[in-house]
Structure 1
Amino acid sequence: MALSATTSSCRRLFLLHVTLKGVKCDVGDPSSWTCRLGARRHLLSEDVIKLQEFQRRKVALTFKHGGKGEYVQAFKHKLDRNERILRDELKELLHLCQTPEDMVVAKAAICRYHEENQNVPRMDFKFGPLFMRLCYELNMEEMAADTIKDKTLKGFFPDSTSFNIVMDMLFTKGRYEMALEVLTDMRSQGVLFNKHSYILAFAICYKLNSQRSYRICTTILEEAQLKGLLVPRHAYCFAVALAIKQGDTEKAKSLYSQIMSTNRISQNLQVYVLALNGAWNDVLSMLTQAMDPRSPFVKKPEFSQEVVDAVQRYGEQNPSFRHRVKQVLARLQQSGQVTSLTLDEMLCFTPSDQARPFSKMMQTKNVYRAPGALQSALLSE
């Protein structure tokens, strides 16, 4: 009963939501695209991160051991005595760490475990995602990045999930350069990308918006296409947006043509790309159709004020279409199909049905739990 009540309380804590008042940015130049203050920037959903599941298990083990202190201390002595580390012991340790000091023990433990077992197949359990979820929960993105790049631990993180969690963690904190280092290391280790890896990779490159990141994004995409791998639509959208920010309108047009299905983000990017390329008949046709859907049951698509402003700005430069562009944009405003969301916010958005619960990664400062804080927090009503 006590554990059930605690888990229920824990779930309520996870579902807390923080809303910060937005401050709109200048949208005149694509290179200045940024998300508003407080806008969510994570890309992986809870069903990928699985932080809830990890923390529920953590609560159960905390009760089992009556707190974590003695277990972690005993494990430290075990390391000092060079005793062999068993798999289940390490799993429990990674569920009981709560402080940076505990994480030093955890890092030493996985190094020892890897050293003792690196020639033994470990197909039944992967410690990588577990360790990275612990770093995520404790807000320790630098340790996560340093650990996954540690040459002595090569082979300990053979899965894309571990790298994805680290990159998402760094992306959430705005540590894009460090995230790119992890991405580069992932490629050099030959870890296979999954669909989330492509989204994160292109999102990181988009945020950096440099010639190097543009080149990396293009290279990864070309490699995937040569291998016949499926690249998600969301990843393509980041690639298109990056091409726009880099002023490569032809590449943006080419990339967009490879998107097989459309959604709100891709429709906004399509209008932007068409306007940049001066395809005004197509722009006007698309916006007109958006205001008159074939079925009254189909929700009318929304367009970012940023896109509307860009269309109006570029339309002013074309006397032949200037008047018609103004008319269509005015109708679009009147129909309530213009949203204040920026393109950046649309791109860096996890759908509500997949959005993860509140986590400390949403904070801008590094805040660590004091010893015993997890247990006391989860027990509070």
Structure 2
Amino acid sequence: MDMLFIKGKYKSALEVLIEMKNQDVKFTKDTYVLAFAICYKLNSPESFKICTTLREEALIKGEVLSRRASCFAVALALNQNQVAKAMSIFSQIMNPESITCSNLNIIIHIESNMLDTLIEILKNAAEGNLSRFVKRHAFSEEVLARVREKVKDVPALVAGFDEIYGKLHISGQVTTYTLDALLCHTPRDKKSHTLLLNKRTVSRRTFQPLSQSLLAE
């Protein structure tokens, strides 16, 4: 299933996933990550339903789903315009302190039209009086572009956003990597997840310029 994912054969990978479920194969934490990643990549009503069912069944069984798996589930829900579901899943992430979570949170606020709160989150991230030893939130240029598009017709917000955007850039809190790339990035210390990388579009070399502290899961 992992090799099918790497090769971009997501439908075939989903078929294997369904067969595993039908045979009552026990899923590990890594299996759930891969399963949700497959569903996210397919980005269809069917894959969303499968992801939702797998997640709900796992929670009923008392399984503890990783933050990484939950991020794929949130992203898929957002892509399927299921904002309330995305918010619900995100609210259950135990420790949402990662670059991926930060960006998903911004998109949730965009899609929920919570613009004042959205600007406040970005302002706090840009102006937070943190020591240099504390990891700062970082944001994807792609996600920030969506913020600008959302607030462009609100004069009271657009000026504030432009100022915040400048501060984020100056402090090195903006990355050119897309949300999809961040979702599929494999932390160096998570060798068990190395096969999750979509090697056609993302490689370890590609992520070399990124600060390890920004990408750490």
TM-score (norm 1): 0.49
Q: What is the aligned counterpart of 1:229 among 56, 63, 73?
A: 63
Q: Does 1:207 align with 2:41?
A: yes
How far 1:326 sits from its partner (Å)?
2.2
Q: Does 1:220 align with 2:54?
A: yes
Q: Tell me the residue number matched to 1:267.
A: 102
How far 1:216 sits from its partner (Å)?
0.2
Residues 83 and 111 of structure 2 are in contact (CA less than 8 Å); yes or no, is this contact kept in structure 1?
yes
Counterpart secondary structure, 1:321: helix
Q: Does 1:338 align with 2:174?
A: yes
How far 1:274 sits from its partner (Å)?
1.0
Q: What is the aligned counterpart of 2:146 among 310, 315, 323?
A: 310
Mapped to 1, the partners of 2:40 and 2:9 lie a distance apart of: 13
Mapped to 2, the partners of 1:185 and 1:293 lie a distance apart of: 51
Higher relative contact order (CA 8 A, sep 6+): 1
Distance change (3 Å), C-alpha of 1:293 and 1:193: farther
User: When the two structures are aligned, how many residues end up with a matched partner?
Assistant: 196
- 5+ residue gaps in structure 2? 201-217
**Moved segments of 4+, more than 3 Å:** 317-320, 361-364
Residues 141 and 177 of structure 2 are in contact (CA less than 8 Å); yes or no, is this contact kept in structure 1?
yes
Identical-residue share of aligned pairs (%) = 43
Q: What is the aligned counterpart of 2:187 among 347, 351, 359?
A: 351
Counterpart secondary structure, 2:92: coil
Mapped to 2, the partners of 1:228 and 1:353 lie a distance apart of: 26
Mapped to 2, the partners of 1:171 and 1:293 lie a distance apart of: 42
Residues 5 and 198 of structure 2 are in contact (CA less than 8 Å); yes or no, is this contact kept in structure 1?
no
Q: Tell me the residue number matched to 1:111.
A: none
Distance change (3 Å), C-alpha of 1:362 and 1:316: closer
Residues 276 and 314 of structure 1 are in contact (CA less than 8 Å); yes or no, is this contact kept in structure 2?
no
Q: Tell me the residue number matched to 1:329.
A: 165
Q: Tell me the residue number matched to 1:258.
A: 92
Higher-Rg member (1/2): 1
Moved more, 230-239 or 331-340: 331-340
Mapped to 1, the partners of 2:78 and 2:105 lie a distance apart of: 11
Residues 6 and 199 of structure 2 are in contact (CA less than 8 Å); yes or no, is this contact kept in structure 1?
no
How far 1:322 sits from its partner (Å)?
2.4
Q: What is the aligned counterpart of 1:284 among 98, 119, 128?
A: 119
How far 1:362 sits from its partner (Å)?
8.2
Residues 209 and 242 of structure 1 are in contact (CA less than 8 Å); yes or no, is this contact kept in structure 2?
yes
1:3-54 deviations in Å (ceiling 9; x for gaps): xxxxxxxxxxxxxxxxxxxxxxxxxxxxxxxxxxxxxxxxxxxxxxxxxxxx
How far 1:363 sits from its partner (Å)?
7.5
Counterpart secondary structure, 2:160: helix
Residues 39 and 48 of structure 2 are in contact (CA less than 8 Å); yes or no, is this contact kept in structure 1?
yes
Residues 8 and 198 of structure 2 are in contact (CA less than 8 Å); yes or no, is this contact kept in structure 1?
no
1:187-225 deviations in Å (ceiling 9; x for gaps): 000011110011001000000001100000011111112
Q: Tell me the residue number matched to 2:207.
A: none
Mapped to 2, the partners of 1:276 and 1:363 lie a distance apart of: 30
TM-score (norm 2): 0.83
- For the aligned residue pairs, the C-alpha RMSD in angstroms reads 2.1
